[in-house]
Chains A and B, each alone.
Chain A
Amino acid sequence: QGQLVESGGGVVQPGRSLKLSCAASGFTFSTSVMHWVRQAPGKGLEWVAVIWSDGGTKYYADSVKGRFTISRDNSNNTLSLEITGLRVEDTAVYYCARARVAAFDIWGQGTKLVVSS
């Protein structure tokens, strides 16, 4: 069935940096395309970034381009999202998700990030 567990969220001041992690288990992580999706408080879902299975191709939403970096470690079944120059509008629950049949079939429970001074 597969499982994803995010970590690394918390309360961070604007302008600081943070790294979110997502640990995968129960499926073949190394052949899976992986995504980050976020949800601001009381708002809808926003796609953030994608990374191909070999890590060679990455795409980002315009709202995060240049500040967010998605990466993966296939030897440790881990997905990461490094965020620099944090902004108040980055406050959200961040989900990692696996892509399969052009959809997100496995989601983590999410990690909450609050950007506040």
Chain B
Amino acid sequence: DILLTQSPDSLAVSLGERATINCKSSQSLLYRSTNQDYLSWYQQKPGQPPKLLIFWASGRHSGVPDRFSGSGSGTDFTLTITNLQAEDVAVYYCHQYYSTPYTFGQGTKLEIK
């Protein structure tokens, strides 16, 4: 099974500042036939289902503010949130669709400092 390890487990960032969340995979998520990394990012607020933010490591999903960006390839990935807003308080998960079982990272809780 592919293990995804997120860091940190939690972080507190001031409003208007930048938040960075990392996700490390136990094996490469680069799908050779499509030349895409099968890594996505989700935001989950309390009592709500997860919401897709980023697909293919850096593709921003429709309707997601451009403050959210994804980067990385292979085994190391990053979600960056610039100009942090109060509504960004949530738990963030990375997820791999490279092979079954389609695992998630353990989650990173983002709070306002």
A99–B56 Cα distance when bound, in Å, is 13
**Pair A50/B50 contact, Cβ less than 8 Å:** no
**Pair A102/B101 contact, Cβ less than 8 Å:** no
A99–B40 Cα distance when bound, in Å, is 11
Cβ of B103 within 8 Å of any chain A Cβ, yes or no, is yes
CB distance from B109 to the nearest CB of A (A): 11
**Pair B104/A109 contact, Cβ less than 8 Å:** no
- Interface residue range, chain A: 20 to 34
**Pair B93/A44 contact, Cβ less than 8 Å:** yes
Given A104-B95, A107-B49, A107-B50, check contact A35 B102 (CB 8 Å): yes
> Which chain A residues lie closer than 8 Å to B104 at the CB level?
44-47
CB distance from B93 to the nearest CB of A (A): 6
A69–B31 Cα distance when bound, in Å, is 28
Given A101-B56, A101-B59, A102-B38, check contact A107 B51 (CB 8 Å): yes
Q: How many A-B residue pairs have CB under 8 A?
A: 61
- Interface residue range, chain B: 20 to 34
> Which chain B residues lie closer than 8 Å to A108 at the CB level?
49
A110–B47 Cα distance when bound, in Å, is 10
> Which chain A residues lie closer than 8 Å to B48 at the CB level?
109
Task: Name A96's closest neighbour in chain B (CB-CB).
Answer: B49
**Pair B55/A102 contact, Cβ less than 8 Å:** yes
**Pair A103/B40 contact, Cβ less than 8 Å:** yes
| Residues 85-108 (chain A) with a chain B CB within 8 angstroms | 95, 99, 101-105, 107-108
Listed from nearest, the 4 A-B pairs whose CB atoms lie closest are A103-B40, A103-B55, A102-B97, A107-B49
A-side interface residues toward B, CB under 8 Å? 35, 37, 44-47, 50, 59, 61-62, 95, 99, 101-105, 107-110
